[in-house]
């Protein structure tokens, strides 16, 4: 097995206290629910009464592990997953949060929900749906779409689980052919692969217990998941802190000390630091740093800090605190837009966008291109429909301190909201300020 | 869901740091509720999950004086929907705790809804759990709350596992599972129209084990019925049904005294204890690691009627 597997860096080891958040994706019937059921079942996270329900439904037949995850009536009726379900399990060395995302194209928006904030994506590939004797194996569109979406949303580790190995007569060459197709696709799309793992979710092969086969010496899926890094914030360098909530001490409206609370996007803050406020541009010194009800020496990226300044300034939710001269803002920027609304994206129409803790009006100035999921080519487009991904230029009513999403998720991510329905219509990932 | 692993598998360091991370996330969500909404309220029943959320709210909005004591007042009132069928120990605890903390409690009484005629019981001892929804929605309307903070966890139940952290409710208070807003990063879409409201669940990502680890770490006070005590029960359909005025001994049953504790505390008509001799949070942590039945499976009569009973109640506005 030659697919590149992440090596665990010292940074990742330090971060191992965090639960690894991963999503599972892939086409309908690729066996996602069965795979999750298997992970929970084999790691003994399923309790007797839950198993009991399954056994009653099975009425003597082997139990259907997929029934563990579909929690909505409509899902059981239709036998598909509609919305993300979150599941929890732990091994000796790690805690896990699974975001079980739907495979159905109609519910791609929920897959995007699962991907935002995930440390890893497990894309299921059903080997029985592929012609593994072909010169070049043709992957299913949803495999490509989900891997690509995970990649565009910068899910740090992308893993393919090649499922239903039990249903293939000669698994070694079949797996090898699929593996080569996946690697070719990923290379073309610029996706870094964290692992390609053969599994049988139904039988439990190579999910939690390593596969006993002479043609595969790699890790089991669970072993790989235990070794993947969790997302790390940049704790050094310039401070960037979006003000989430301004708390006043005591009652009244006078000049009480105020604490500016916010989760640090990058850098750190300690008493005595010089900071600059955005958008006012005013300078101040940090008098005190608080965290969860206590005065602390310092706070770092990822933590919510309460900053008390040495003087009273007009600061509200939505403002930013940064190192002096470090924040520059723009009201026009290029972004990747994942459109999630059944109403298509309209150039020129006003939407709300949320960046950090600020809501501003914005419009899509232009749609530069739309990504063709099959060819992976960007083509000219005037419209983005539901589940489309495109490159757009956004104009905002006020300048925003946007950063490239690749550099920083907090500074580079926005949601776009329909002002009439209040639906979350899309996810914006900033490429560069214009 | 908690894996029934052995106590030796509990990794103190892993769990401690994981709790820090969960706490951080919950406090962030709590601050968001106050920053983004005009009239939030915290659902407080005196149950363990709401006691944990209450402690997290103290950490988010008050200054610590050490030893679990805090200075200041929460920026929202607490709301309890009283079915009239609550365990007296829990109501007593609720009132004492809130008085100690100096917080404001709003109570929505199901009895009032019955008097108004908005709730009709088909028989006097019927479970009032499902009817809570009416009293809850009436309290929301009366006090014009635009956001309710709840202690629901995704590991409790399959429909809960599907719910967003910020969950939109329409003007009828209904949850529409197929229409959930995508929830991207922590950029919560908190925009609502007049008459609508939202629910926020800061401990969505916690498991029953996490809750008990946190109670143990933070020394969070709870109603004593969460710990082992002797109680009169009857054995019915595999559950230990407590003998109360609303769940009397039925013909052909014999009451017995059993050492029990409650894993979850809700309406008396549908909440059952489990056999246990765990008398401290640490002992409950150890027991939770070895349980083989889920929290709801062991304790709730009303969830057993159908696979979708929770989902149906939630669609109507239940929390």
Do B112 and B135 meet the contact criterion of CB atoms below 8 Å apart?
Answer: yes
Cα(A7)–Cα(A29) distance, integer angstroms? 32
Residues 255-274 (A) with a CB less than 8 A from some CB of B: 261, 263
Do A14 and A43 meet the contact criterion of CB atoms below 8 Å apart?
Answer: no
Q: Which of B11, B184, B297, B300 to mutate to test the interface with A (most CBs of A within 10 A)?
A: B184
Cα(A398)–Cα(B158) distance, integer angstroms? 42
**Tens of pLDDT, residues A354-413:** 999 999 999 999 999 998 866 778 899 999 999 888 999 999 999 999 999 988 889 999
How far off is chain B from A19, nearest CA to CA, in Å? 7
Using 50, 70 and 90 to split pLDDT, how confident is the model at A15?
very low
What's the confidence (pLDDT) of residue B298?
67
How far off is chain A from B167, nearest CA to CA, in Å? 12
Inter-CA distances, A369 with A190, A191, B243, Å: 18, 20, 68
What's the confidence (pLDDT) of residue A2?
35
Whether A425 shows a pLDDT value over 90: the answer reads yes
**Tens of pLDDT, residues A19-70:** 899 999 887 677 888 888 888 887 776 666 676 777 777 677 766 776 666 6
Whether A238 shows a pLDDT value over 50: the answer reads yes
Cα(A234)–Cα(B173) distance, integer angstroms? 41
Does the CB of A109 have a partner CB in chain B at under 8 Å? yes
* A93 chain-B contacts, CB cut-off 8 A: 11, 14
**Tens of pLDDT, residues B45-67:** 999 999 999 999 999 999 999 98
**Tens of pLDDT, residues A307-324:** 999 998 999 999 999 999
* B304 chain-A contacts, CB cut-off 8 A: none
Inter-CA distances, B126 with A32, B118, B120, Å: 40, 16, 10
| Three-state DSSP class for residue B216 | helix
Of B28, B184, B293, the CB nearest to A49: B293
Kindly determine whether residue A422 and residue B192, on different chains, have CB atoms separated by under 8 Å.
yes
Do A81 and A102 meet the contact criterion of CB atoms below 8 Å apart?
Answer: yes
Sign, CA torsion A204/A208/A211/A216: positive
Q: Which residue has the higher pLDDT, A170 or B128?
A: A170
Do B281 and B216 meet the contact criterion of CB atoms below 8 Å apart?
Answer: yes
What's the confidence (pLDDT) of residue A3?
36
Does the CB of A304 have a partner CB in chain B at under 8 Å? yes
ipTM of predicted complex: 0.89
> Where does residue A167 rank: exposed (0-12), middle (13-18), buried (19+ CB within 10 A)?
middle
Cα(A243)–Cα(A222) distance, integer angstroms? 39
Return contacts of A366-372, CB within 8 angstroms, 24+ apart: A366/A392, A366/A393, A367/A391, A367/A392, A368/A334, A368/A392, A368/A393, A371/A148
Among A90-94, A133-137, A211-215, the range scoring the smallest mean pLDDT is: A90-94
> In percent, how much of chain A has pLDDT > 70?
85
Inter-CA distances, B75 with A245, A347, B38, B40, B140, Å: 12, 41, 10, 9, 17
Cα(A220)–Cα(A329) distance, integer angstroms? 46
What's the confidence (pLDDT) of residue B2?
43
Kindly determine whether residue A17 and residue B3, on different chains, have CB atoms separated by under 8 Å.
no
> In percent, how much of chain A has pLDDT > 90?
60
What's the confidence (pLDDT) of residue A46?
67
> What pTM, to 2 d.p., does this model score?
0.90
Using 50, 70 and 90 to split pLDDT, how confident is the model at A175?
very high
Kindly determine whether residue A409 and residue B31, on different chains, have CB atoms separated by under 8 Å.
no
For B10, nearest residue in chain A (alpha carbons) = A92
Most confident of B173-182, B221-230, B282-291: B221-230
Kindly determine whether residue B35 and residue A48, on different chains, have CB atoms separated by under 8 Å.
no
Q: Which two tokens stand for residue B112?
A: 């009032």
Instruction: Calculate the average pLDDT of chain B.
Output: 87
Kindly determine whether residue A17 and residue B59, on different chains, have CB atoms separated by under 8 Å.
no
Among A87-91, A240-244, B193-197, B297-301, the range scoring the smallest mean pLDDT is: B297-301
Among A143-147, A373-377, B142-146, the range scoring the smallest mean pLDDT is: A373-377
| Three-state DSSP class for residue B302 | helix
- Average pLDDT for residues A91-106, to the nearest whole number? 80
Q: Is the backbone peptide bond immediately before A279 cis, with ω within 30 degrees of 0?
A: yes
Conformational region of residue A324, where left means phi above 0, alpha means psi within -120 to 50, and beta covers everything else: beta
Among A258-272, A392-406, B262-276, the range scoring the smallest mean pLDDT is: B262-276
> Where does residue A399 rank: exposed (0-12), middle (13-18), buried (19+ CB within 10 A)?
middle
Kindly determine whether residue A17 and residue B154, on different chains, have CB atoms separated by under 8 Å.
no
- Average pLDDT for residues A328-344, to the nearest whole number? 94
Cα(A416)–Cα(A339) distance, integer angstroms? 9
Of A69, A245, A414, the CB nearest to B35: A245
Kindly determine whether residue A413 and residue B187, on different chains, have CB atoms separated by under 8 Å.
yes
| Three-state DSSP class for residue A144 | helix
Instruction: Calculate the average pLDDT of chain A.
Output: 87
What's the confidence (pLDDT) of residue B161?
85
Does the CB of A84 have a partner CB in chain B at under 8 Å? yes
Cα(A68)–Cα(A54) distance, integer angstroms? 8
Does the CB of A21 have a partner CB in chain B at under 8 Å? no
Whether B306 shows a pLDDT value over 80: the answer reads no
C-alpha radius of gyration, chain B, whole number: 19
- Average pLDDT for residues A96-123, to the nearest whole number? 83
Residues 141-170 (A) with a CB less than 8 A from some CB of B: none
Kindly determine whether residue A40 and residue B181, on different chains, have CB atoms separated by under 8 Å.
no
What's the confidence (pLDDT) of residue A242?
98
**Tens of pLDDT, residues B7-23:** 344 555 667 778 989 99
DSSP string, A149-209: HHHHTT-SEEEEEEE-GGG-SSHHHHHHHHHHHHHHHHHHHTPPEEEEEE-BTTTTBTTTB
Cα(A324)–Cα(B78) distance, integer angstroms? 41
Do A269 and A307 meet the contact criterion of CB atoms below 8 Å apart?
Answer: yes
What's the confidence (pLDDT) of residue A116?
87
A403: Cα separation from own chain's centroid:
18
Whether B290 shows a pLDDT value over 80: the answer reads no
* A247 chain-B contacts, CB cut-off 8 A: 61, 75
Using 50, 70 and 90 to split pLDDT, how confident is the model at A9?
very low
- Average pLDDT for residues B108-122, to the nearest whole number? 83
């Amino acid at each position: 097995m030659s697919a590149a597997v992440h090596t665990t860096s010292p940074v990742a080891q330090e971060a191992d206290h965090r639960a690894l958040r991963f999503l599972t994706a892939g086409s309908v019937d690729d066996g996602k629910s069965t795979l999750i059921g298997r992970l929970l079942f084999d790691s003994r996270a399923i309790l007797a009464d839950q198993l009991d329900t399954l056994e009653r439904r099975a009425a003597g037949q082997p139990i259907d592990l997929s029934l563990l995850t579909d929690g909505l009536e409509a899902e059981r009726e239709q036998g598909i997953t509609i919305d993300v379900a979150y599941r929890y399990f732990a091994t000796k060395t790690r805690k896990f949060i699974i975001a079980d995302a739907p495979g159905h194209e109609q519910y791609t928006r929920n897959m995007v929900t699962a991907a935002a904030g995930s440390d890893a994506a497990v894309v299921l590939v059903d080997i029985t749906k592929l012609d593994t004797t072909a010169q070049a194996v043709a992957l299913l569109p949803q495999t490509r779409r989900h891997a690509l979406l995970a990649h565009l949303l910068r899910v740090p580790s992308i893993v393919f689980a090649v499922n239903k190995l039990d249903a293939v007569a000669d698994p070694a060459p079949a797996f090898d052919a699929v593996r080569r197709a996946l690697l070719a696709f990923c290379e073309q799309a610029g996706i870094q692969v964290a692992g390609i793992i053969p599994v049988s979710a139904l039988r439990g092969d190579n999910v939690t217990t390593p596969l006993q086969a002479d043609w595969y010496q790699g890790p089991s899926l669970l072993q790989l998941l235990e070794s993947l890094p969790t997302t790390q914030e940049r704790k050094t360098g310039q401070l960037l802190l979006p003000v989430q909530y301004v708390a006043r001490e005591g009652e009244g409206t006078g000049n009480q000390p105020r604490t500016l609370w916010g989760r640090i996007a990058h850098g750190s803050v300690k008493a005595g630091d010089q900071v600059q406020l955005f958008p006012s541009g005013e300078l101040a010194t940090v008098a005190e740093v608080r965290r969860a009800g206590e005065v602390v020496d310092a706070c770092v990226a990822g933590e919510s800090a309460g900053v008390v300044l040495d003087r009273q300034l007009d600061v509200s939710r939505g403002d930013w605190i940064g190192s002096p001269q470090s924040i520059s803002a723009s009201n026009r920027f290029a972004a990747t837009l994942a459109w999630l609304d059944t109403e298509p994206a309209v150039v020129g129409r006003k939407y709300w966008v949320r960046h950090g803790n600020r809501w501003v009006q914005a419009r899509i100035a232009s749609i530069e291109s739309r990504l063709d999921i099959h060819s992976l080519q960007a083509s000219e487009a005037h419209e983005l429909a539901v589940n489309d991904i495109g490159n757009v230029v956004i104009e905002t009513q006020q300048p925003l301190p946007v950063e490239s999403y690749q550099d920083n998720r907090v500074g580079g991510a926005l949601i776009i909201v329909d002002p009439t329905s209040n639906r979350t219509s899309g996810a914006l990932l900033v490429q560069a300020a214009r | 869901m908690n894996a029934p692993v052995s106590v030796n598998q509990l990794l103190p360091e892993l769990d401690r740091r994981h709790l820090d991370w969960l706490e951080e996330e919950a406090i962030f969500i709590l601050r968001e509720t106050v920053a983004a909404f005009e009239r939030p309220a915290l659902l407080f029943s005196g149950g363990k999950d709401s006691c944990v959320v209450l402690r997290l709210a103290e950490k988010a909005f008050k200054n610590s004086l050490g030893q679990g004591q805090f200075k200041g007042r929460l920026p929202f009132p607490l709301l309890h929907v009283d079915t009239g069928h609550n365990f007296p120990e829990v109501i007593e605890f609720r009132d004492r705790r809130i008085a100690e903390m100096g917080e404001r409690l709003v109570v929505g009484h199901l009895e009032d809804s019955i008097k108004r005629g908005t709730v009709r019981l088909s028989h006097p001892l019927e479970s009032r759990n499902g009817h809570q929804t009416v009293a809850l929605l009436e309290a929301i309307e009366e006090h014009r709350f635009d956001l309710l903070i709840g202690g629901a966890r995704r590991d409790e139940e399959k429909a809960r596992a599907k719910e967003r952290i910020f969950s939109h409710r329409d003007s009828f208070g209904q949850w529409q599972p197929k229409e959930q807003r995508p929830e991207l990063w922590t950029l919560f879409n908190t925009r609502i129209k007049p008459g609508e409201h939202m629910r926020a669940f800061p401990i969505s990502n916690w498991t029953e084990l996490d809750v008990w680890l946190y109670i143990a770490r933070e020394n969070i006070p709870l109603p004593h019925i969460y710990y082992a005590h002797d109680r009169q029960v009857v054995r019915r359909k595999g559950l230990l049904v407590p003998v109360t005025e609303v769940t009397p001994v039925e013909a052909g049953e014999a009451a017995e005294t059993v050492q029990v504790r409650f894993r979850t505390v809700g309406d008396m008509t549908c909440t059952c204890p489990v056999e246990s001799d765990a008398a401290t949070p640490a002992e409950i942590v150890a027991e939770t690691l070895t349980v083989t039945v889920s929290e709801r499976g062991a304790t709730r009569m009303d969830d057993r009627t159908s696979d979708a009973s929770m989902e149906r109640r939630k669609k109507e506005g239940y929390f």
